[in-house]
Structure 1
Amino acid sequence: MKHLLILFLLLTTKAFAQGPFGDYAVVKDKDGYVNIRAKENVKSKIVGTLPNNTLVYGFFDKEFNPTNWIEVDKGYVHQSRLKRIFDFRAIEGKVQGNSIIFDDKDVKVTITKQKFDKTKHKITKKEHDGWAELIIDGKKMYGIEDELLPDDHYKSITVTMKGINVPIPKSAYDDLYQIFYFNRFIFYDEEAEALYIFANNSDASWAYLVCWQIVKDKYITRIIGLPL
């Protein structure tokens, strides 16, 4: 049932967006790393490596990526060396007011959103060739049209893993807006003690995905996923 609900959330997001979204996955290879190839071919030049548990975002759908290779920063990795985060153990959350709480034997996460108050932020306008965008607190906005103010945003994300508090920097979420509803699942890789907090926010052409990665007692990264 949980996997069906997760699939529903993804399909709902894709339906509202202008193009298809990719998936989040992590490197899982028996060698402990995967080679990055310059081209989508096992005989292509090796231009780098990614260690196990590196988070990536890519397009796995055969309709949009028939090659089985996922594009990363420097080149391509074969998707057989990746495991999607949705294949890890799902932890279901409960909404309580403006927060959602995930409480599990290994993990506790509380995500809180709040209404956007323009009096508490520095708002400037950046002019482009023929259009302009609002910049909030010096950062580009995700989830809202260029010249509109958002309705809401993340207030805080708190994480505890096996009794240890894991600080999540404000910079990991303070440019993300339009949190219309909470995603009901996060994902936990027990072997690596890695946590993946996934969300799909906003709607229409401004929809976006985000995945935060925490490994053991350390915040590692976030990746913003945008449609094609």
Structure 2
Amino acid sequence: MKNLILLVVLFLMNAVASAQVAIIQDKDGYTNVREKPNGQSNIIHRINNNEAFWYINDERKSDEEWVLVYIPKNPYSLGSTQSDYIEGYIHTSRLKPLEKLQPYKGEDFSFKYLLEPFALNNRIVDRYNGAVTAIAGRPVWGTDGDFPKTQVKDLLVTIEGNKLDISKAFYCDLFECTNTFNVYKSGDCYVVYQWNSDGAGAYQVVWVFTKNGLKQRLVGSMI
């Protein structure tokens, strides 16, 4: 049974590993997610404009009208490192891959991690077969079973000169971060996209902000 569970987990993680990140841009402000790749199939969810999600980019099927998407159940990815999402289909005309957005070059938005060396500081560590699986009950993004080398001390975000207050809960599980990332703007949203890694534990993180604060944090592991 344990081997079966492991195979299922690896399959799901590989599915997201081969996926890319996108948003939707729809004149109605949302698009429907269908159970199957056709317009008569049951609607299982609705994606609003500027919500980030994963999709499968299969160039061999570039002429198809529907694309498989993975939608996180939690808008801030506050669960485990195993991706927690639902699957469905949306019409390709609604899909907007992040790399197709215009890079943001303005001065109204700034984003920066304040980094420091990792320190355990009496936090409780969970292990499995000797590998570090959680610190203080949270997943350890950015490592492959070892203790991290760097952690985020603070997240500095300003929009139109106003500093946003970002809770530590949204960055305390992110490790091996750098201040190398891409920034995009879509509507009133600023989107930050990057890869972080210790060399083996690669993961992607997408931040979506408005002037009112953090709207979404999408985090995914890679195989």
What TM-score do you get using the length of structure 1 for normalisation?
0.73
What residue number does 1:150 align with? 148
What residue number does 1:176 align with? 174
What residue number does 2:3 align with? none
What secondary structure is seen at the aligned counterpart in 1 of 2:169?
A: helix
Match of 1:34 among 27, 31, 45: 31
Match of 2:45 among 41, 45, 48: 48
When residues 49 and 113 of structure 1 are mapped into structure 2, their CA distance, relative to the original with a 3 A threshold, is: same
When residues 113 and 49 of structure 1 are mapped into structure 2, their CA distance, relative to the original with a 3 A threshold, is: same
Q: Does 1:215 align with 2:171?
A: no
- Residue identity matched to 1:122: R
What residue number does 1:111 align with? 113
When residues 205 and 44 of structure 1 are mapped into structure 2, their CA distance, relative to the original with a 3 A threshold, is: farther
Following superposition, the deviation at residue 116 of structure 1 comes to 0.4
What residue number does 2:139 align with? 140
Cα pair 1:197 1:212 within 8 Å, conserved: yes
Cα pair 1:164 1:217 within 8 Å, conserved: no
Following superposition, the deviation at residue 64 of structure 1 comes to 8.7
What residue number does 2:90 align with? 77
Cα pair 2:208 2:216 within 8 Å, conserved: yes
C-alpha distance after superposition, 1:161-183 (max 9, x if no partner)? 1223222221211111122x432
- Residue identity matched to 2:196: N
Following superposition, the deviation at residue 107 of structure 1 comes to 1.0
What residue number does 2:123 align with? 122
When residues 108 and 36 of structure 1 are mapped into structure 2, their CA distance, relative to the original with a 3 A threshold, is: same
When residues 74 and 20 of structure 1 are mapped into structure 2, their CA distance, relative to the original with a 3 A threshold, is: closer
When residues 31 and 143 of structure 1 are mapped into structure 2, their CA distance, relative to the original with a 3 A threshold, is: same
Cα pair 2:151 2:176 within 8 Å, conserved: yes
Measure the CA separation in 2 of the matches of 1:84 and 1:206: 24
Following superposition, the deviation at residue 61 of structure 1 comes to 3.8
Measure the CA separation in 1 of the matches of 2:181 and 2:144: 26
Measure the CA separation in 1 of the matches of 2:44 and 2:181: 38
- Residue identity matched to 2:161: G
Following superposition, the deviation at residue 22 of structure 1 comes to 2.6
C-alpha distance after superposition, 1:49-72 (max 9, x if no partner)? 222222212222425988541323
Following superposition, the deviation at residue 79 of structure 1 comes to 3.1
- Residue identity matched to 1:124: V
Following superposition, the deviation at residue 42 of structure 1 comes to 2.4
Cα pair 2:176 2:197 within 8 Å, conserved: yes
Superposed CA RMSD = 2.7
Cα pair 2:23 2:49 within 8 Å, conserved: yes
Cα pair 1:48 1:74 within 8 Å, conserved: no
Following superposition, the deviation at residue 186 of structure 1 comes to 1.5
Q: Which moved more, 1:69-78 or 1:33-42?
A: 69-78
Percent of residue pairs bearing the same amino acid type: 25
What residue number does 2:81 align with? none
Unpaired segments ≥5 residues, structure 1: 1-16, 93-103
Number of aligned pairs?
A: 193
